[in-house]
């Protein structure tokens, strides 16, 4: 039986209150969530302990400085956290966590996940250029509306914006003004949520309807946007155009939660060569732009991680050259995930496509052989 | 007094002729790829591919010393290759030689007095009136508004150790090239191309001196500003407050050559129970990832003595932290203490790889 | 034999596993069968060890097409390497097609150790297929 409770307060206030009260009542020893940094105009993820949750706690920041999934890899790659920890994640971060669990990069024991209806976030650079207080207020409004003007490319077309895979899911959409609904999706979630006071939500249908309608709308927008982007980037010349500003700095890879390799192939000795070989390449390619292998880096990374790409947009936020990396990877991810009928983050028991196979599949990818010719 | 030669051709023509005559087997310089708006440091082999060569264009998408390191670290060129570099790139290159990351054999080093470059960001927002303003500033010997902060405070804008030094400040793009050939390799290169016909001894123009004066003032102002903001721990924490720990600054740094960076090593991969211990001891919780300040301070100690203040780190910082200004200021202090100019004399050993028995007593307690 | 007066001779990489694919080429040799000289075999330990990046890198650095042959399903020397290869090649073709870069320049066809004729047929057929397509635009993109 699903537990669903009404949590009083405006959106971010409600979530903060819920977290504080769950931790206080002993649901967890520690809390992993975003909080404001020292100056108050930027946010990071923090690991906080019961009894001293800081006033700066801001579990719904209007930006995503880094993917929380990457931070959880940082925390738990070598083993599970020793105490029970409440973990607040955006839906895309939650999906990345699921992927990283499959890839043995996150130990999820002791983690209780909390997620929410996410309206998206502002691009990092836009937020840093703008007025923090104004943007935070806009973001607060967007939590109820579900639409954030000026959101990042991938946020604007995100159709998987609810926390349905989390132990505890917070609903802002289709919920009466001045409260939000906390729904426990699992036994672990129910145990934690059971500790806090709150009137039961009898009928969840108003939220379900609002979410369903928004999802359908977003799915259409996503498809249209990605197809339009495909028109824009398709073909060799257009791809060169899209990547013309790329510095080949690999920062997209470094902040990508899915790109977990400690030693990236694209930074390996496979790219070392004698000077004369570079010169030979320069002749062949009518001039070798340095650092070389920009397109190879992106294509290669697509082949390595696009099946698990959760469209979180961290890559684009970290791009110093404003390359639309996240759309690029969302577009390709849509195709590669499509052929494997795979949705990254859907289910932790679903194997990652590259670590799995069927004996009879993809025959259409083989070139059919018709023995037609005689011996030469 | 150095002898400056008038050269009756543009830089593109010069490169083409060097390739055509076989004087060099390759040319590497900033090049505008004709099919796109891409500008990149480009290695060219065929004479016809030099089209779009633009070594003086006011952009720096990477410090080219990194690429030359990538090209020559395994084995040097077996035929001469001319590389056209900004002075800060040349200094980085000369540091990398000391660090055994570059093999200079067969490189012909061409440089020029550099008026500075614009931040990468201003290129993305459309160039607008920038080129015209830049040309004017170059002609007059002033700082063009909008160039990188570290460029406007750069006093090392005249190259050292180049085989060919082109005069840019005080000249207009339509003027003929003027260049000096201070080294034997440079003389040979010029001779092979027949560039030594029209030469005369000249003094550096007053524009260059004017720019040097402006730069010195700007440098003082920048140092004061940064020292002011870093005056205590509180200031230090505030300056790096927005840092997302992506380490992009390290990655684009020409001097940070380590293949395996200490700050990305297992030394910083913690066991969960040790993290929890730290959590118990902290009042406000742990900001993740840890070691944000340690990274910057550590990098300062690792490469501060060799920082050439090229400004790449700041350009790629999405959090807008004045990384290069900080490194120029603090690195400058370190360099001053050791009386060391990165990329200066090849005979000066790296400060942290040498010592004297009787020095730095004032640092002892 | 190939015609001498062709306008375009494609540069083709033929990736073969050490067991069946290479075995097929050896059988072809024993049978004195010919395949086009512009098809250059490259040996991999197993098709399952062919990272998609190798294929992309070949296409960007000068190959007009890449064809992969390994053991038939069920015959893999390492039991399942070829199934993994098939998934990766499916991904490669999908990525290329999504970006308008022509996934049909990459072929996968199983060749058994004894299938010398199938090996040379595949080489010739792929050669003709790429000749019809013309030079790969991927190797000529400047600046990336």
Mind listing the pLDDT tens digit of every residue in chain B (365 residues)? Answer: 578 999 989 999 999 999 999 999 999 999 998 778 899 999 999 999 999 999 999 999 999 999 999 999 999 999 999 999 999 999 999 999 999 999 999 999 999 999 999 999 888 877 667 889 999 999 999 999 999 999 999 999 999 999 999 999 999 888 889 999 999 999 999 999 999 887 787 777 899 999 999 999 999 999 999 999 998 999 999 999 999 999 999 999 999 999 889 999 999 999 999 999 999 999 889 999 999 999 999 999 999 999 999 999 999 999 999 999 999 999 999 999 999 999 999 999 999 999 999 999 999 98
pLDDT at A117 over 90: yes
- Exposure string for B147-185, b = 16+ CB within 10 A, e = fewer: bbbbbbbbebbbbbbbbbbbbbbbbeeeeebbbbbbbeb
Distance of CA C21 to the CA centre of its chain: 10
pLDDT at A96 over 80: yes
The share of chain A scoring above pLDDT 70, in percent, equals 98
Q: Is residue B325 a contact partner of residue B222, using CB atoms and an 8 Å limit?
A: yes
Q: Is residue B231 a contact partner of residue A231, using CB atoms and an 8 Å limit?
A: no
pLDDT at C3 over 80: no
Residue with tokens 């003389």: B187
Greatest alpha-carbon pair distance for chain C in Å reads 46
What DSSP state is assigned to residue A204?
A: -
pLDDT for the residue numbered C6: 58
C97/A303 touch (CB, cutoff 8 Å), yes or no: no
Chains A–B, number of C-beta pairs less than 8 Å apart: 210
B36 lies within 8 A of chain C by CB: yes
* A327 vs A329: CA distance, rounded Å: 5
CB-based contacts of A169, cutoff 8 Å, min separation 6: A114, A115, A116, A162, A163, A182, A183, A184, A185, A189
> Least CA distance to A292: which residue of chain B?
B67
* A48 vs A66: CA distance, rounded Å: 17
Q: Is residue B30 a contact partner of residue B84, using CB atoms and an 8 Å limit?
A: yes
Give the total number of structural domains in chain C: 1
Distance of CA A196 to the CA centre of its chain: 29
**Calculated CA dihedral for residues B19, B23, B28, B30, nearest 10 degrees:** -70
A296/C101 touch (CB, cutoff 8 Å), yes or no: no
Look at residue C125 and tell me if it is in a domain: yes
pLDDT for the residue numbered A165: 94
Look at residue C138 and tell me if it is in a domain: no
If DSSP states are collapsed to H, E and C, what string results for chain B? CCEEEEECCCHHHHHHHHHHCCCCCEEEEEEECCCCCCEEEEEECCHHHHCCECCCCCCCCCCHHHHHHHHHCCCCCCCCEEEEECHHHHHHHHHHHHCCCCCCCCEEEEEECCCCCCCHHHHHCCCCCHHHHHHHHHHHCCCCCCCCHHHHCCCCCCCCCCCEEECCCCCCCCCCEEEECCCHHHHHHHHHCCCCCCEEECCCCHHHHHHHHHHHHHHHHHHHHHHHHCCCHHHHHHHCCCCCCCCHHHHHCCCCCCCCCHHHCHHHCCCHHHHHHHHHHCCCCEECCCCHHHHHHHHHHHHHHHCCCCCHHHHCCCCCCCHHHHHHHHHHHHHHHCCCCCCCCCCCCCHHHCCCCCCCHHHCC
Look at residue C1 and tell me if it is in a domain: no
Sheet of A3-8, strand order? A3-8, A179-184, A168-171, A111-116, A85-88, A30-36, A43-49, B286-287
Nearest by CB to C88, from A265, A331, A354: name it: A354
> Least CA distance to C142: which residue of chain B?
B33
pLDDT tens-digit map of A178-225: 889 999 999 999 999 999 999 999 899 999 999 999 999 999 999 999
Phi, psi of A368 (to 5 degrees): -65, 140
* B261 vs A276: CA distance, rounded Å: 28
Q: Is residue B137 a contact partner of residue B157, using CB atoms and an 8 Å limit?
A: no
> Least CA distance to B39: which residue of chain C?
C143
Note the ipTM here: 0.95
pLDDT tens-digit map of B271-301: 999 999 999 999 889 999 999 999 999 999 9
Chain C, 95 to 114: residues with Cβ < 8 Å from chain A are: 95, 97-101, 107-110
Helix (H, G, I), strand (E, B) or coil at C68: strand
pLDDT for the residue numbered C7: 81
Encoding tokens for residue A369? 């052989």
A275/B38 touch (CB, cutoff 8 Å), yes or no: no
> Least CA distance to A56: which residue of chain B?
B284
pLDDT for the residue numbered B215: 98
CB-based contacts of B124, cutoff 8 Å, min separation 6: A245, A321, A322
A45 lies within 8 A of chain B by CB: yes
Look at residue C77 and tell me if it is in a domain: yes
Q: Is residue C114 a contact partner of residue C103, using CB atoms and an 8 Å limit?
A: no
* A368 vs C107: CA distance, rounded Å: 10
Average pLDDT over residues A2-22: 92
Nearest by CB to A244, from C94, C97, C143: name it: C143
Bridge-partner residues for A5, per DSSP?
A: A182, A200
pLDDT for the residue numbered A373: 56
pLDDT for the residue numbered A202: 87
Chain C nearest CA to B37, separation (Å): 10
pLDDT at C1 over 80: no
Characterise A334 by phi-psi region: left (phi > 0), alpha (psi -120 to 50), beta (else). alpha
> Least CA distance to B19: which residue of chain A?
A283
Handedness of CA B96, B101, B105, B106 (dihedral sign): negative
Distance of CA A150 to the CA centre of its chain: 18
User: Which chain B residues contact residue A321 at CB under 8 A?
Assistant: 120, 124
C144 lies within 8 A of chain A by CB: yes
Handedness of CA B30, B28, B13, A287 (dihedral sign): negative
User: Which chain B residues contact residue A126 at CB under 8 A?
Assistant: none
Chain C nearest CA to B33, separation (Å): 6
Q: What is the rounded average pLDDT for all residues in chain A?
A: 95
C17 lies within 8 A of chain A by CB: no
Q: Which of B330, B29, B312 is nearest to B148 (CA)?
A: B312
Q: Is residue A27 a contact partner of residue A113, using CB atoms and an 8 Å limit?
A: no
* A333 vs C98: CA distance, rounded Å: 10
pTM of the predicted structure, to 2 decimals: 0.96
* B208 vs B167: CA distance, rounded Å: 9
Nearest by CB to A286, from C62, C101, C142: name it: C142
* A75 vs A17: CA distance, rounded Å: 25
B45/A283 touch (CB, cutoff 8 Å), yes or no: yes
pLDDT bracket for residue A1 (50, 70, 90)? low
* B23 vs B87: CA distance, rounded Å: 23
C142/B40 touch (CB, cutoff 8 Å), yes or no: no
* B304 vs B306: CA distance, rounded Å: 5
pLDDT tens-digit map of A349-364: 999 999 999 999 999 9
Q: Which of A318, A259, A300, A244 is nearest to A96 (CA)?
A: A259
A291/B70 touch (CB, cutoff 8 Å), yes or no: yes
Q: Is residue A303 a contact partner of residue C99, using CB atoms and an 8 Å limit?
A: no
User: Which chain C residues contact residue A369 at CB under 8 A?
Assistant: 109, 118, 121-122
pLDDT for the residue numbered C142: 86
CATH number of C93's domain: 3.40.50.960
Look at residue C122 and tell me if it is in a domain: yes
Greatest alpha-carbon pair distance for chain A in Å reads 84
Bridge-partner residues for A48, per DSSP?
A: A31
pLDDT for the residue numbered A280: 97
* A121 vs A153: CA distance, rounded Å: 10
Chain A nearest CA to C120, separation (Å): 9
pLDDT at A277 over 80: yes
* A1 vs B268: CA distance, rounded Å: 43
* A68 vs A33: CA distance, rounded Å: 8
Domain that holds residue C112: 13-132
Hey, how many other C-beta atoms are within 10 angstroms of the C-beta on B345?
11
Which DSSP helix (H) or strand (E) runs through A184?
A: strand A179-184
What DSSP state is assigned to residue A254?
A: H
C2 lies within 8 A of chain A by CB: no
C60/A362 touch (CB, cutoff 8 Å), yes or no: no
pLDDT for the residue numbered C14: 98
Residue with tokens 């494609």: C10
pLDDT for the residue numbered B100: 96
User: Which chain B residues contact residue A241 at CB under 8 A?
Assistant: 36
Helix (H, G, I), strand (E, B) or coil at A196: coil
Helix (H, G, I), strand (E, B) or coil at A338: helix
Mutate which: A290, A291, A316, vs B, most B CBs within 10 A: A290
pLDDT tens-digit map of C124-136: 999 999 999 999 9
Chain A nearest CA to B166, separation (Å): 23
Whole-angstrom Cα Rg for chain C: 15
Hey, how many other C-beta atoms are within 10 angstroms of the C-beta on A364?
9
Mutate which: A233, A300, A329, vs C, most C CBs within 10 A: A300
Q: Is residue B303 a contact partner of residue B353, using CB atoms and an 8 Å limit?
A: no
pLDDT for the residue numbered B130: 81
Bridge-partner residues for A7, per DSSP?
A: A180
- CB neighbour class for B133 (10 Å; exposed up to 12, middle 13-18, buried from 19): middle
pLDDT bracket for residue A372 (50, 70, 90)? low
A254/B71 touch (CB, cutoff 8 Å), yes or no: no
Q: At what angle do helices A294-305 and A325-339 cross, to 10 degrees?
A: 40
> Least CA distance to B34: which residue of chain C?
C142
Residue with tokens 């499959």: A102
A236/C101 touch (CB, cutoff 8 Å), yes or no: yes
pLDDT for the residue numbered B1: 59
Look at residue C5 and tell me if it is in a domain: no
* Residue-wise DSSP of A10-37: SHHHHHHHHHHHHHHTTS-SEEEEEEE-
Average pLDDT over residues C4-33: 92
Encoding tokens for residue A250? 């690999």
The share of chain A scoring above pLDDT 90, in percent, equals 93
User: Which chain C residues contact residue A287 at CB under 8 A?
Assistant: 142
Look at residue C93 and tell me if it is in a domain: yes
pLDDT tens-digit map of C47-94: 999 999 999 999 999 999 999 999 999 999 999 999 999 999 999 999
Encoding tokens for residue A298? 């992106």
Mutate which: A341, A356, A365, vs C, most C CBs within 10 A: A365
Nearest by CB to C99, from A234, A286, A357: name it: A234
Look at residue C82 and tell me if it is in a domain: yes
Encoding tokens for residue C34? 């010919």
Nearest by CB to C98, from A331, A356, A362: name it: A331
């Amino acid at each position: 039986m699903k537990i669903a409770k009404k949590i009083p307060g405006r959106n971010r206030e409600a979530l903060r209150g819920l977290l504080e009260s769950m931790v206080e009542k002993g649901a967890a020893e520690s809390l992993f969530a975003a909080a404001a940094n020292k100056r108050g105009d930027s946010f990071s993820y923090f690991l906080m302990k019961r009894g001293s949750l800081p006033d700066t706690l801001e579990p719904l920041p209007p930006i995503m400085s880094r993917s929380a999934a990457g931070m959880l890899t940082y925390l738990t790659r070598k083993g599970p956290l020793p105490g029970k920890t409440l973990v607040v994640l955006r839906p895309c971060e939650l999906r990345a966590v699921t992927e990283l669990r499959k890839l043995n990069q996150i130990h999820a024991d002791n983690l209780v996940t909390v997620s929410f209806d996410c309206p998206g976030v502002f691009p990092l650079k836009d937020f840093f250029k703008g007025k923090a207080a104004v943007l935070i207020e806009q973001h607060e409004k967007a939590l109820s509306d579900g639409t954030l003007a000026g959101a990042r490319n991938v946020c604007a077309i995100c159709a998987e914006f609810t926390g349905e895979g989390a132990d505890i899911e917070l609903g802002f959409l289709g919920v009466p003004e001045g409260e939000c609904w906390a729904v426990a999706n699992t036994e672990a979630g129910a145990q934690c949520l059971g500790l806090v006071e709150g009137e039961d939500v009898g009928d969840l249908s108003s939220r379900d309807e609002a979410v369903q309608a928004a999802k359908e709308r977003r799915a259409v927008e996503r498809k249209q946007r990605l197809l339009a982007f495909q028109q824009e980037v398709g073909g060799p010349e257009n791809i060169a155009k899209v990547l013309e500003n790329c510095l080949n700095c690999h920062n997209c890879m470094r902040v990508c939660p899915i790109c977990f390799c400690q030693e990236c192939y694209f930074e390996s000795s496979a790219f070392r060569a004698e000077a004369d070989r570079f010169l030979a390449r320069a002749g062949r390619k009518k001039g070798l732009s340095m650092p070389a292998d920009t397109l190879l880096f992106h294509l290669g990374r697509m082949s390595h991680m696009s099946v698990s790409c959760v469209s979180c947009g961290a890559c684009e936020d970290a791009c110093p050259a404003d390359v639309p990396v996240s759309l690029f990877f969302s577009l390709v991810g849509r195709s590669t995930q499509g052929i494997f009928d795979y949705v990254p983050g859907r289910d932790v028991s679903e194997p990652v496509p590259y670590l799995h196979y069927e004996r009879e599949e993809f025959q259409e990818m083989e070139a059919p052989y018709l023995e037609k010719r005689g011996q030469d | 007094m150095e002898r400056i030669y008038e050269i009756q051709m543009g830089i593109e023509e010069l490169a083409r002729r060097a390739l055509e005559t076989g004087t060099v087997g390759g040319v590497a310089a900033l090049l505008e790829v004709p099919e796109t708006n891409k500008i990149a440091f480009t290695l060219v082999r065929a004479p016809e591919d030099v089209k779009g060569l633009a070594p003086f264009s006011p952009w720096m998408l990477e410090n080219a010393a990194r690429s030359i390191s990538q090209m020559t670290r395994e084995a040097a060129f077996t035929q001469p290759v001319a590389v056209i570099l900004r002075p800060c790139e040349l200094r980085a290159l000369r540091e990398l030689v000391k660090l055994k990351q570059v093999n200079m054999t067969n490189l012909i080093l061409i440089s020029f007095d550099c008026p500075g470059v614009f931040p990468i960001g201003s290129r993305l927002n459309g160039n607008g009136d920038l080129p015209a303003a830049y040309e004017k500033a170059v002609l007059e010997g002033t700082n063009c508004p909008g160039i990188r902060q570290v460029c406007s405070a750069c006093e090392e804008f005249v190259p050292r150790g180049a085989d060919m030094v082109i005069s840019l400040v005080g000249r207009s793009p339509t003027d003929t090239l003027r260049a000096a050939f201070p080294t034997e390799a440079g003389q040979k290169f010029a001779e092979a191309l027949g560039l030594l016909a029209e030469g005369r001894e000249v003094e550096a123009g007053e524009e260059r001196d004017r720019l040097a004066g402006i730069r010195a003032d700007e440098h003082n102002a920048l140092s004061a500003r940064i020292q002011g903001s870093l005056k205590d721990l509180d200031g230090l924490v505030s300056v790096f407050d927005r840092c997302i720990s992506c380490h992009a600054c390290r990655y684009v740094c020409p001097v940070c050559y380590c293949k395996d960076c200490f700050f990305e090593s297992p030394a910083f991969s913690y066991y969960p129970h040790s993290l929890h211990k730290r959590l118990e001891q902290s009042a406000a919780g742990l900001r993740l990832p840890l070691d944000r300040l340690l990274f910057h301070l550590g990098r300062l100690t690792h490469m501060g003595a060799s920082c050439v203040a090229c400004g790449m780190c700041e350009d790629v910082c999405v959090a807008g932290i004045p990384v290069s200004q900080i490194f120029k200021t603090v690195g400058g202090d370190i360099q001053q203490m050791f009386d060391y100019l990165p990329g200066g004399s090849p005979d000066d050993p790296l400060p942290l790889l040498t010592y004297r028995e009787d020095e730095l007593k004032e640092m002892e307690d | 034999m190939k015609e001498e007066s062709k306008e375009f001779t494609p540069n083709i990489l033929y990736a073969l596993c050490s067991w069946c694919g290479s075995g097929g080429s050896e059988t072809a040799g024993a049978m004195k069968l010919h395949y086009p000289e512009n098809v250059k075999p490259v040996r991999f330990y197993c098709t399952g060890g062919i990272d998609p990046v190798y294929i992309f890198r070949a296409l960007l650095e000068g190959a007009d097409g890449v064809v992969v042959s390994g053991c038939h399903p069920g015959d893999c020397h390492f039991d399942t390497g070829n199934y993994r290869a098939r998934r990766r090649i499916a991904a490669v073709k999908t990525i290329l097609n999504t970006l308008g870069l022509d996934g049909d320049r990459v072929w996968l066809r199983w060749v058994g150790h004894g299938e010398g004729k199938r090996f040379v047929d595949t080489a010739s057929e792929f050669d003709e297929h790429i000749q019809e397509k013309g030079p790969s635009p991927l190797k000529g993109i400047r600046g990336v």
